[in-house]
Structure 1
Amino acid sequence: MMEQNLQTCNELVAKFESVITNPIIKEHETYYTGVDLGTACVVLVVMNEKYEPVAGAYEYSDVVKDGMIVDYFGAITLVKKLKAKLEEQLGTQLLYAASAIPPDTESLDGGAIKNVIQSAEFEITSILDEPTAANNVLKIKNGAIVDIGGGTTGISIINNGKVVKVSDEATGGTHLTLTVAGAMHKSFDEAELFKRNKAHHQELLPILKPVIEKISTIITDQVAGYDVNDLYLVGGTACLAGIEKIIEKRTGITTHKPINPMFVTPLGIAKSCTDIITV
């Protein structure tokens, strides 16, 4: 069942990657949009009424830091830009959207995210936590979802299909970029672009190993006392080739990674969207 769920996840991710460049333009009653305001990247996923991906767009940005919106106007502008692009591709207006926030941050930033989505002229139907969104795609019953984002690593322990513990600690992609910048004498922006290029991952892995081991220690500490036999990596930073091997070796826990971890949570957000307003 575990491998089947991961295969289904990978098939959905692959489908989404395909429609980013080749949107499926058909007449549908309703489109549902997932808006993921990530620290490093903003992703919009459009699904049809059968919750199949039909279009998508994303852009790297710095409107969010450590899961919190730091450039409110910039966030609205970017979401509007991506929305307009998708509407032009599909030849229709996108009405409904859902979004997500890091664990335990609703009181801090839930309202800001809601306002950004509404300012982009969406009817926002739901705001859920990122682990729940990711598990809309992964469908795991037992284990831990490890969301390695730009600023933080979020860990959600799931038992019998329910989230029993969430935590979010400040180590993520930003720390990897700072390490690359220092080791290779690059500016932060240069290091970030260098890190994103998969062709450099094998070269970077030894440099980044200490930071990945720190992330592994965070995971070990947070799952202590729980019966966790499997880890599932999501988030943009988890795209680093080989990161799963270091984490598995360091934690001693079997570690799984979808084909593109960056798109798992956005897809899960879109799957939670409806035409019924609940927020």
Structure 2
Amino acid sequence: MRPATGWSGRFEAVIERPVKEPSAVYYTGVDLGTACVVLAVLDEHFRPVAGAFRYADVVRDGMVVDYIGAIRIVRELKEELEEKLGTELIYAAAAIPPGTDGLDSGAIKNVVQGAGFEITALPDEPTAANAVLNIKNGAVVDIGGGTTGISILKDGNVVYVADEPTGGTHFSLVISGAYKMDFSEAERYKRDEANHAELLPVLKPVIEKVASIISRHVAGRDVDGIYLVGGTCCLNGIEDIIQKKTGIPTYKPKNPMFVTPLGIARTCTQNAWD
């Protein structure tokens, strides 16, 4: 079963051209990523209507390291989207790397509230992504900037979660060393799709390390497919290396960077999260 891909395509469209039809309520997903902060807005029928993102360095390895900067960015993106939609955005959900709720859930909650939202949900990232993918049996793997999060699902229920500190930051460090670039330049070079074919063999060892992490966590479990999300998975060809290394069919949607924020928005309600 391949994951649904229409959501991310529709979201890309409304980033450029928001849907301004009135809605009784709006649901916002706030994705505080290591490399990028994304806000996704859904209408009362949970259809994408607006979105915005900004590359930032306010989170590292899944932990908020620049609290004030994170609040400022989320508030600015919120205000930008409110101006585009002509309405106030009240409700928001956010997400955390799996297994880290005791470490950083309070900080993330405070960032979202500090930006002016009423927070209503705080799922783990791969579980949120599955609100879009609708995987019944398999592993949702969220490869972000700092960590790789894994949620294993059976009959649509999460039965196992894990998170390990390997992700896009490590990809950029490899590029930085191989090309004698500073880190920020390596990040920009990595994001340019025109460079992906050249970068794939350079990054193959670290991709295989991610695949080994996945293999270790799915070992002995009934996983019939791996479903990739997260900005790092935008690298063309990453799914082929992971599939070859794990021996498990591996899929990714059109733009894996936007699956998790859309899934986070789908977990949003009008009831405050405590």
TM value normalised by structure 2 = 0.98
Pair 1:120 & 2:115 matched: yes
Gaps of 5+ in 2: none
Give the CA deviation at 1:262. Answer: 0.7
Give the CA deviation at 1:162. Answer: 1.2
SS where residue 271 of structure 2 aligns? Answer: coil
Query: Which residue in 1 is equivalent to 2:184?
Result: 189
Residue identity opposite 2:46 in structure 1: Y
SS where residue 25 of structure 1 aligns? Answer: coil
Query: Which residue in 2 is equivalent to 1:152?
Result: 147
Greater CA deviation, 221-230 or 79-88? Answer: 221-230
Give the CA deviation at 1:274. Answer: 1.3
Query: Which residue in 2 is equivalent to 1:171?
Result: 166
Query: Which residue in 1 is equivalent to 2:239?
Result: 244
CA displacement 1:92-116 (0-9 Å, x = unmatched): 1111101110101111100011111
> Which of 84, 95, 104 pairs up with 1:89?
84
Pair 1:229 & 2:224 matched: yes
Residue identity opposite 1:114 in structure 2: K
Aligned partners of 1:229 and 1:14: how far apart in 2? 25
Query: Which residue in 2 is equivalent to 1:101?
Result: 96
CA displacement 1:108-164 (0-9 Å, x = unmatched): 100011111111111111111112101101111101011111111111111111111
CA RMSD of superposed structures (Å)? 0.8
Percent identity (aligned): 62
Query: Which residue in 1 is equivalent to 2:259?
Result: 264
Q: Which runs of 4+ in 1 moved over 3 A?
A: none
Aligned partners of 1:43 and 1:99: how far apart in 2? 10
> Which of 211, 216, 219 pairs up with 2:211?
216
Aligned partners of 1:131 and 1:162: how far apart in 2? 12
Aligned partners of 2:126 and 2:180: how far apart in 1? 35
Query: Which residue in 2 is equivalent to 1:133?
Result: 128
TM value normalised by structure 1 = 0.97
CA displacement 1:205-259 (0-9 Å, x = unmatched): 0100000011111111111111112000001101100000000011110000100
Give the CA deviation at 1:174. Answer: 0.5
Aligned partners of 2:242 and 2:270: how far apart in 1? 40
Count of matched residue pairs: 274
Residue identity opposite 1:175 in structure 2: H
Residue identity opposite 1:101 in structure 2: I
Give the CA deviation at 1:278. Answer: 3.0
Residue identity opposite 1:177 in structure 2: S
SS where residue 220 of structure 2 aligns? Answer: coil
Contact 2:127 2:140 in 1 (8 A): no
CA displacement 1:178-227 (0-9 Å, x = unmatched): 00000001000110000010010000001000000111111111111111
Aligned partners of 1:220 and 1:129: how far apart in 2? 20
> Which of 47, 53, 56 pairs up with 1:52?
47
Give the CA deviation at 1:74. Answer: 0.2
Residue identity opposite 1:205 in structure 2: L
Pair 1:12 & 2:7 matched: yes
CA displacement 1:34-73 (0-9 Å, x = unmatched): 1000111100001100000000000010000011000000
Gaps of 5+ in 1: none
Query: Which residue in 2 is equivalent to 1:70?
Result: 65
Give the CA deviation at 1:277. Answer: 1.5
SS where residue 253 of structure 2 aligns? Answer: coil
